[in-house]
Amino acid sequence: MSADASADAFRRAFGHPPAGVWAAPGRVNLIGEYTDVNEGFVLPFALPHAVRAAAAPRDDGLLRLHRGDDARTGWLELSGADLRPGHTEGWAAYPAGVLWALREAGHDLGGADLRIDGEVPQGAGLSSSAALECAVALALTEAAGLALSRQEIARICRRAENDFVGVPCGIMDQTASACCVTGHALFLDTRDLARRHVPLDLAGAGLRLLVVDTRVKHALADGAYAKRRAGCEAGARALGVRALRDVPHDRLGDALDRLPDADARALVRHVVTENERVRRVVAHLDAGDVRAVGPLLTAGHASLRDDFRVSCPELDLAVAVANSSGALGARMTGAGFGGSVVALVESERAAAVERAVADAFAAAGFARPRVFPVVAGPGARREA
């Protein structure tokens, strides 16, 4: 849906025009999984797919929400206790949480009418939640005449997700949605939030990055994510470091020897090697050698599958078949337990890889995957 169509839909829903239309993208994480909860490095880029929020401020403190794919004609109306943690669930918790987090950060905001449209596939590991949060945060602040930095928008959105929605995620997805720029991946140090835009010109190199959405829905809130995170924190404590980020790659062997059991060793090994893979991928991109990234993607997948144990049969099959049918490398992206794979392929091999993955899924009795190419799109912005 275009920004104009969004504004028209807002007018039909609420009977008055919006103050503006804002959009924020989902993301693909090229590499650096579960490193953001260990103060490490990540390398996401923004999807061309975005969530759009048309908004008008209200001075009575009410938050009225209307969603594009909502069959009901009316809106949801939140006020008072609904806008405090623990009282609102489902998709409305994201916009409500953002308004709560903005107020908690000291921004004197009234209410708003908000209409939401989304193109980011949900539950696909592509950060539809962060896109929703960032679109709403930009809409609520800019419609009220406030100008927050992109980093502050990301911080507030993460707070909403952690403390209102209740998902203990890191800062990667919200920073990607708020801060990415077209044609670049975002090299982010999640300890000090230093960031650098790294050129990612796939087409110029004759390459494509395919997303394979397995359609296996992941639910981050189900405890597995929190369990991995707690395991990493326990590993850091056992090693006497602030976070696993502080374990140097060239001292990994020593660190593993000091850990109590195989489970702890596997978690630590993943995080330490993954940080190293992010650095290597960045070095290859800086050198203009995009093809060299392929094997690092596949190595990252093996580490998430065997050590971190957040993959699933559908993700593993997509990676294996993409690679055996000509991809330069492939890996799951995002938190795992379902969701999507990214595969780096020569442009002329893209159709063959797509067909091979679809055939293998059919033969395995899995649902038909959704496969589409992505390029690095723009971060959050005002559209109208």
* Footprint of ligand GLA (CB under 6 A): 33-34, 36-37, 169-170, 172-173, 334-335
Tokens for 90? 């489902």
**Closest distance to ligand GLA from the beta carbon of 64 (Å):** 28
Determine the Cα–Cα distance for residues 20 and 236; give it in Å rounded to an integer. 46
In terms of CB distance, is 36 or 142 closer to ligand GLA? 36
**Closest distance to ligand GLA from the beta carbon of 173 (Å):** 4
Which of these is catalytic: 36, 113, 117, 173? 173
Has 254 been annotated as catalytic? no
**Closest distance to ligand GLA from the beta carbon of 318 (Å):** 18
**Closest distance to ligand GLA from the beta carbon of 115 (Å):** 25
Alpha-carbon Rg of the chain, whole angstroms? 21
**Closest Cα to residue 109, out of 61, 161, 165?**
61
Question: Mutual orientation of helices 128-143 and 150-160 as an angle, nearest 10°?
Answer: 120
**Closest distance to ligand GLA from the beta carbon of 161 (Å):** 7
In terms of CB distance, is 13 or 185 closer to ligand GLA? 185
Determine the Cα–Cα distance for residues 301 and 308; give it in Å rounded to an integer. 10
Determine the Cα–Cα distance for residues 301 and 297; give it in Å rounded to an integer. 6
In terms of CB distance, is 14 or 91 closer to ligand GLA? 91
76 bridge partner residues? 65
381 bridge partner residues? 23
Determine the Cα–Cα distance for residues 163 and 262; give it in Å rounded to an integer. 32
Determine the Cα–Cα distance for residues 292 and 203; give it in Å rounded to an integer. 15
In terms of CB distance, is 138 or 304 closer to ligand GLA? 304
| Catalytic residue numbers, as ranges | 173
